[in-house]
């Protein structure tokens, strides 16, 4: 179903209890399962991806369907391989187009017996009976998805010989890997990362209750709303200044757009200033925070910035090809966007019509829906498949109505 999103003014004053982080939740759920559920997770995310992971970790079925949940696919593959459980893991049509060969090859090198049921290198996969993984040393290209690396790291403390990962070339998405490592350390894992080598020793996780922080990725949409407003004062509850999440870099990114952040006892308060220097951002590299790229691109285009977005290669294999999807939908709104290899270039444009209703296709991608929603501060937009946001931020549309956005079916 589609919804029409609009806003009656360009002034925002609201307090939001933000959804909690599915990235933190999913990592802690794997550790909780390794420890047979002997500690509590508080503020667990209510995102569909996390609900799917909870359900499948408990399931006794021999065939498990992750749907569109990419992290769940990667994490369960490593988890069930480490548990010597015989199971088939499949997913949606798009999931079966998303590669998993690098993870499967690494696990098989460590002693697993995983096979492909259709196309080589892609789901569905079959985890066959094998001996307990003893671990060892593997090499990985540093440019691979951080989800592969995190999946391996989370189960590595259970390996008799631990795990050493030697990276070839520059490692991308470092903050997501550091989030995984810091969560592992919280539960007692012995992990070191020096240069291009991560070493995980065979150590038992310790059962310690965990409180999940609010989601900085979800906060980025409110930063975009603030940037596109004339006046904004937005309180977001549950965020921390010293966050485990790499997407907290949104605080620095949106200074370019005149959005200032103040940390409070409850979370943060973001406000709109008039200090905007359109000459100050010729290029931004998103390799350490790729989930912010769509939101940033839409904001920059709407404010008629000229900027080059680099470090986007991992966006090609997400829920959709996010680089192409961004270009198509921004052009449909009247903005000037080009692509060079994996770089997205936003150029000055005459601006989109302020009155015409723009139709945004989401491509089954939650971040497409939420990244484009703030454009309704400027002109009405129609979002196709509004339920896609349930993947990571189920209350998104409800939260928008608290700040005078109008949502009509």
48, 215, 291, 365: which is the annotated catalytic residue?
291
Alpha carbon distance 107, 111 (integer Å): 6
- In sequence order, which residues have a C-beta less than 8 Å from that of residue 233 and are 6 or more positions away? 12, 13, 269, 270, 271
Strand arrangement of the beta sheet that strand 191-194 belongs to: 136-141, 163-168, 197-200, 191-194
Of 220, 275, 207, the residue nearest 39 (C-alpha): 207
In 110-161, which residue ranges form alpha helices assigned H by DSSP?
A: 146-155
Task: Determine whether 247 is an active site residue.
Answer: no
| Two tokens, residue 308 | 């080059």
Closest by Cα among 328, 288, 329 to 312: 288
Residue 99: how many other CB atoms lie within 10 Å: 15
Q: Could you tell me the two tokens for 374?
A: 């703030």
What is the rounded distance in angstroms from the CA atom of residue 174 to the CA atom of residue 176?
Answer: 5
d(C-alpha 407, C-alpha 90), whole Å: 35
Asked if 165 and 191 count as a contact pair (C-beta separation under 8 A), the reply is: no
On the 0-12 / 13-18 / 19+ scale of CB atoms within 10 A, 209 is exposed
Q: Mutual orientation of helices 101-109 and 70-82 as an angle, nearest 10°? A: 10
Residue 245, CB half-sphere, CA atoms under 13 Å: how many?
Answer: 28
Q: Please check whether residue 402 is in contact with residue 14, taking contact to mean a CB–CB distance below 8 angstroms.
A: yes
List residues with catalytic annotation.
Answer: 291
């Amino acid at each position: 179903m589609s919804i029409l999103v609009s806003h009656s003014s360009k002034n925002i004053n609201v307090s939001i209890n933000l959804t909690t982080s599915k990235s933190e939740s999913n990592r802690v759920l794997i550790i909780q399962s390794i420890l047979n559920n002997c500690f509590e997770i508080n503020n667990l995310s209510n995102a569909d991806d996390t609900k799917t992971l909870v359900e499948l970790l408990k399931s006794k079925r021999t065939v498990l369907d992750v749907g569109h949940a990419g992290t769940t696919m990667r994490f369960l593959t490593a988890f069930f391989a480490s548990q010597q459980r015989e199971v088939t893991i499949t997913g949606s049509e798009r999931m079966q187009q998303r590669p998993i060969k690098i993870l499967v090859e690494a696990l098989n090198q460590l002693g697993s017996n995983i096979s492909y049921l259709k196309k080589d290198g892609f789901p569905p996969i079959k985890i066959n009976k094998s001996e307990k993984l003893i671990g060892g040393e593997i090499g990985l290209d540093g440019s691979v998805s951080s989800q592969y690396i995190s999946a391996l790291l989370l189960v590595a403390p259970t390996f008799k010989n631990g795990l050493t990962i030697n990276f070839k070339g520059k490692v991308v998405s470092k903050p997501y890997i550091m989030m995984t490592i810091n969560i592992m350390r919280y539960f007692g894992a012995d992990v070191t990362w020096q240069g291009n080598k991560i070493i995980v020793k065979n150590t038992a996780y310790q059962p310690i209750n965990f409180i999940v922080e609010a989601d900085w990725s979800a906060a980025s949409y409110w930063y975009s709303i603030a940037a596109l407003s004339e006046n904004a004062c937005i309180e977001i509850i549950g965020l921390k200044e010293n966050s485990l999440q790499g997407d907290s870099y949104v605080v620095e990114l949106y200074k370019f757009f005149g959005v200032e952040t103040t940390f409070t006892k409850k979370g943060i308060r973001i406000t709109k200033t008039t200090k905007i220097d359109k000459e100050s951002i010729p290029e931004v590299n998103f390799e350490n925070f790729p989930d912010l790229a769509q939101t940033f691109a839409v904001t920059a285009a709407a404010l008629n910035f000229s900027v080059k977005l680099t470090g986007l290669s991992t966006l090609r294999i997400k829920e959709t090809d996010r680089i192409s999807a961004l270009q198509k939908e921004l052009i449909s709104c009247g903005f000037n966007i080009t692509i060079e290899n994996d770089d997205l270039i936003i150029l000055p444009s005459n601006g989109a019509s302020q009155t015409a209703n723009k139709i945004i296709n989401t491509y089954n991608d939650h971040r497409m829906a939420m990244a484009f929603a703030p454009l309704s501060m400027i002109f009405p937009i129609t979002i196709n498949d509004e339920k896609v946001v349930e993947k990571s931020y189920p209350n998104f549309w409800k939260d928008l109505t608290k700040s005078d956005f109008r949502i009509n079916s």
